A and B are shown apart, each in its own frame.
Chain A
Amino acid sequence: MNIIIVGGGKQLHFLTKSFVSKGYNVTIINHDAEYCKKLARMHQANIVHGDGTKPYILEDAGASYSEMVIALTKEDPHNLVICQIAEKMFKVKKTFAMVNDPMNIEIFKKLGVGNVICTADIISSFIEQKISIDDITNLFPIEEGKVAAMEIEINSDFPIIDTKLKDIEFPRDATIGCIIRGGQAVIPRGDTIVEEDDKLIILCLPKVQSEVLKTIRGRTD
């Protein structure tokens, strides 16, 4: 697979290393000539010196036969233009744009960029979720946080123990998708009884997340 990465910094080094080790063919575009020389010494990748937002530089980097373009520059407009030119002119199937301002996530999507990554947003939501809840062992947002999936381990002091699912007063916008019991997955029904050490996998809208937790744990914090 041919991958083009535009930009620099730690993320670039990490991605390049990991892609090269998987056997992918990586091409890096950077506008700083000195930095390009450094990159050429560090990585087993093709390096193109130039402005990655210009069509002919992307062409030099082989955009027309690349499967993926990743835009990692510090400027949001550059990342937008890189992805759009890659998609429109070179018909690249997968483009990824890094966004520095979380407000731009929606805008990029509306303007047709397939994959938008915002580090600030990911970090802040991750930290928020981690600090507020200890019983949740795993939590991940789906569709940029429109739906939250979480895994909660049932402790002995939770009020919902020994209750049938249908008797638990759950918010309408939440559902228990699966129960992990003794390493086995159980698909829950209304008459399934919650036991200690069960792991509930819950899908819910973010707005009812705290309500769900309150119902399960019987407390808020």
Chain B
Amino acid sequence: MKAMENNQARDEYIIIVGCGRLGSHLARLLSKARKSVVVIDKNEYAFHRLSEDYSGFTIEADAIEIDTLLRAKIHKADVVVATTNDDNTNVMIAQVAKTIYHVPKVVARLFEPSRQLVYEELGIETLCPTILSAEALKNYIMGKETEELE
């Protein structure tokens, strides 16, 4: 019984919007970890980034249209990740997922750090590659000094 529960917990349903470098790579990783994954992109060509070992689904449509998200069965999703190249699109999709369809885990990728605060206030989990890279670089450059400080 316990094993089955674990199995079900592992069988999360994940929707990834935007099949760019980040979206496609994440889809591949999750697919390898045997999660059920659907990737949405409005440009069919974007799906070439998914490797052959990707076993999930793809939907070619604009995720800003609510019909697309319904087709992807957003009401059944456990996780929605918005990784399109437009911050505002990501934020809108994340809010639709969180506020209207009550998806438990929602993350939006934001390039622009200045907007992050607003959306954290709204309860949207955001991920900013700019800040992450800057911090990683800072740690790499100043790593030794910070250690000494601590």
Contacts and interface: CB of A to CB of B under 8 A. Distances in A.
Most chain A CB neighbours (cut-off 10 Å) among B92, B117, B122: B92
B89 A77 contact: yes
A85 B88 CA distance: 11
Grouping DSSP codes into helix (H, G, I), strand (E, B) and loop, the B interface class, with mixed when no group exceeds half, is helix
A165 B8 CA distance: 64
A84 B112 CA distance: 16
A79 to B, nearest CB: 9
Interface string A78-104: 101100110011000000000001011
A27 interface: no
A77 B86 contact: yes
B64 A54 contact: no
A55 interface: yes
B125 interface: no
Interface range on chain B: under 10, 10 to 19, 20 to 34, or 35 or more? 20 to 34
A64 to B, nearest CB: 14
B101 to A, nearest CB: 10
B139 interface: no
Contacts of B96: 107, 111
A101 B64 CA distance: 9
Contacts of A111: 92, 95-96, 99-100
Contacts of B117: 89
Grouping DSSP codes into helix (H, G, I), strand (E, B) and loop, the A interface class, with mixed when no group exceeds half, is helix
Contacts of A88: 118, 121-122
A76 B117 CA distance: 21
Interface in B79-106: 86-89, 91-92, 95-96, 99-100
Interface residues of A, number: 20
A85 B120 CA distance: 12
Contacts of A107: 66, 96, 100
A76 B64 CA distance: 8
Most chain B CB neighbours (cut-off 10 Å) among A53, A80, A81: A81
A110 B118 contact: no
28 contacts: A53-B115, A54-B112, A75-B89, A76-B64, A76-B92, A77-B64, A77-B89, A77-B92, A80-B88, A80-B91, A80-B92, A80-B95, A81-B87, A81-B88, A81-B91, A81-B92, A81-B115, A84-B122, A88-B118, A89-B118, A103-B65, A103-B67, A104-B64, A107-B66, A110-B100, A111-B92, A111-B95, A111-B96
Closest A-B pairs by Cβ, 4 of them = A77-B88, A77-B92, A81-B88, A77-B89
Interface of A: 53-56, 75-78, 80-81, 84-85, 88-89, 101, 103-104, 107, 110-111
